Amino acid sequence: MQKRSFITVLMAIMMMAVTPAFAQEDNGFKKFDVKVDFTENGFQWFQDAELLAAGDKKKSNAMTIGWGGIGTLWGRTALTVYVAEKRYTKEFMDKAEYFTVMAFDVEQSKVLNYMGTKSGRDGDKAKALGLHTAYTANGTPYYTEATMVIECKIMYAAPFDPQYFKSDVPKRMYANFPAGIHSMYIGEVVNAWKK
């Protein structure tokens, strides 16, 4: 009887270790290599608006982002996002080890509009939209309704320092920007899935 219990427990532990890796496939996603199969125009992708999420299984938040960068840094495939000081999502980004950036179909533009105009401080935005939160094997939140999810491990985070602004572009931007100065988060792309 004891031998059987040990085997049952061992199999359960093995299943728990394997299950998260396939959680995205259960939600209709397939893993892809961003270096080979990312076909979006990197100069346009963020301008089309994407969703940024951070947090854990206890609490998370997402917001619409229109700024970002894709490329390489420190020998890693990297994705850079920017979050303003007064945005609720910044609290989650500052505590996070990972974040996700998600794309949605054009028909789902209401998701991006809502997430970009409402604050998570005032209520659960995902619940209000009927979105289903799931988690990567690293515990990073994403929404099953997304069409693409890119998971990044934060390598660097810092606020912009106005003393280093070299042109009038950022000076004008922050002269009357109520959300405060942005912080830059550079993440190493560790996983990517799309439908």
Please state the domain count of the chain.
1
Domain of residue 100, residue span: 2-194
Q: What are φ and ψ of residue 160, in 5° steps? A: -65, 145
HEC profile of 78-107: EEEEEEECCCHHHHHHHHCCEEEEEECCHH
Q: Note whether 28 and 89 are within 8 A (CB).
A: no
> Could you tell me the pLDDT band of residue 12, with boundaries at 50, 70 and 90?
very low
pLDDT in tens, 76-125: 999 999 999 999 999 999 999 999 999 999 778 899 999 999 999 999 99
What distance in Å separates the CA atoms of residue 58 and residue 92, rounded to the nearest whole number? 12
Domain of residue 177, CATH code? 2.30.110.10
Question: What pTM was computed for the model?
Answer: 0.86
Separation of CA 112 from chain center:
13
Token digits of residue 163: 């003393």
**pLDDT for residue 168 is more than 70:** yes
